[in-house]
Chains A and B, each alone.
Chain A
Amino acid sequence: MNVRLSDCKIGEEVEVSKIEDGNIAPKLIEMGLTEKLITQIVLVAPLGDPIAIDINGFILSIRKAEAHQVLVKKIKP
């Protein structure tokens, strides 16, 4: 079942299933946030926004609005 990355909790392991089209999509892909990537939220700023995700050891911070464009599948532990 797909959920949005912006709705995930810190530390939940997820697999990116789809990045919605938009201006921001190519930039996210350039930075390594690609489909099939296994990732998780590692830091959340106070007030819940922005968030930081782990891209194979590269910590990328994005706003919730950008994370909203990313659909993910939760990986069962």
Chain B
Amino acid sequence: MKITFWALSGLINGITSTALGLLVYYKNRKNPTNITYSLFCLSVSIWSYSYFFWQVSSDAKSALFWCRALMAGAIFIPALYFHHICALLNIRSQKKKLLILAYIFCGVSFLFNFTPLFVKSVSKKLWFEYWPDAGIVYSPFLIIWSLLSCYYIYTIIKFLNNSIGEKKNQLRYILVGTVLGWFGGITNFPLWFNIPFPPIGNILLSVYIAIVAYAIIRYRLMDIKIAVTRAGIFLIVYTFVLGIPFVILGRTGSGLLATTLAVIFATMGPLIYRFLQRKAESVLLTQQRHYQKILLQAALGMVTEHNLNKLSRLIVYILRKTINLNFSAIFISDKKNQLYKLEAIQNRDNSDKQDININEEHPFIFYLKKNREPFFFEEMPVYIKSSFDLPLKPRIIIPAFAGSDLLAFILLGEKSNTQHYTEEDINVFKILSRQAALAIQNCIFFEESKDAQQRMFSAEKLASIGGMADGVAHQIKNRLNQFSMASGELKLEIEDFIAKHDKLINNDQELNKTFSYLKKIAVSLIENVKKTDGIIKGILDFAKVEKKENFFTVFSLNEIAGLSYNLLMIKHEISALPITIKIDDKDIVYGIKSQLTEVVYNMLDNAYEAIQEKKMIVGKKEPETFIPSIELRLTHTQDRQVIKISDNGIGIKEEDKHKIFAPFFTTKSSYKSGSGIGVYVVKRIVEENHKGKIWFVSAYMKGTDFFIELPKNQ
């Protein structure tokens, strides 16, 4: 038995096809693409092993037997490969008839293979001892066989032109592999017809099978331009490196020189190869490298952004612009609501951002958490792909993690030049996702600490103001005491004088008028002192909020609203207020009556000020367009009572919202009263004395709704 290069090519092809056939089959036993590929490998294996045994046959009889065995495998190759291509392109149903015809053709050929009509005999050709001679039906078989092969190559090319992205890259591999294999395979046939051309391409079958296997197993294929360039450079460099010493050896016969050169070249070989590879790739990937560089720079800059929304918009903008995508979007974790929210999106038609949420429990999120790295949408298992019900069709998904916490994920659409994403892109996205996660974390931290600072600030302010209010109030009280007594004394003096000189005064009309006027002034002074004292009392009472559970009663909202209404009319010197009162169920409020009266009074007072202020702005221009209204509404739930005070007044500016409950904060124009203590007092009454909640919804120039929620008597 003499093992020649030709025998070896058969053995190598056999082993390659068996190994890859099994590998691809076990990668996915249910996928028709994989199954058909494995069957194709099976037929190649039968051919190749028989090829090996035929080449090592020592007599004509066994050579003929192995030739027929070889053909038994070869006959089915085009039909099975065609079947595989149909599965890969998902066109099996369209090509069903053709597939059946192809198999019938194979079956008939297979039957002929048992007769001498197919393989007639074996004879010596070139340096082959037993090369087969073609039978009568062999030529028509070969023609149909070749036509079928041409047809599937044509089919691949057709699909290649219509596909985009990764699919296109994959089909390029398939095409290159198929054409290589085909050319390799047909070098076997000239000798059958006594054309003296050796089967030098047979070994290419292994390359063919390997390329196709690579293309269907791996989704992330190397850019074929790069692959071909690398292979080309490798071949050229090593042909020279290893070839030159041989040539030198042949020319000079100097073994020493040849060996020395071989050692030098072998050392330099990899360096030259890598140098040329880098040069070639920097030319081939100029555009890609360019945007990758921009992305990395942008990623580094992200951390300087402190506003989450701005950062999100920045990320999607940079991604879409630099890679030239049809869309890019970012979803950010909303822990409170246990979902991921579409925070920013950029697409070609600049359509508005929709509210898109994905629940934390969605299988897609689980997949992201498991996978952790950027990946292709197509790589996801079918059940997740089909459960992905967003109106966006992403090609790449980039998760951003902080530890085990999935903070966000980015969706990338199609590259607009229909280019595919490369492994290098994915690597850039990995870095980008880490930077994005850092930046997002940074933003979250920044916003949280800002909140905390604000809270600390207002707490501190409250404490200091509380202390200050106490001192100030005390001072005012002392002055007020003097006022009180002076005015009391004045009144008494006047009264005494009138009592003593009643005749004199009663007889003189002018004197009478003067004295009654003086007395009126004194009384008014006393009244004013009392009122002022009431205000001070308010400040001091709320500077030291006391517990007053004992005073909780049930009363009517209508009643305290009426009281407030009257007070407001007096305060603002008006005859009516545009207030409507709505009681949804029972007119019952449970709480501390005096305090809730104060609450309602303050809230209505603010509402009135708000509509007055809006009147000043809007009303001057078009007084008829603004109809002021204030609504007081009471609703009951199982264990709560909610008082809602709404107005359509000036509203609260965004920048003032956080200050609303701070003491001494006022937006009221100074000519009207406005101590800035009202809402603060209300808040403390509601929260501290009633264990309730107060909040508001407001829009500047539109109005404000205050909500006061109080627990019911349990």
Query: Do A and B come from the same complex?
Result: no
Binding site for B on A (CB under 8 A): none
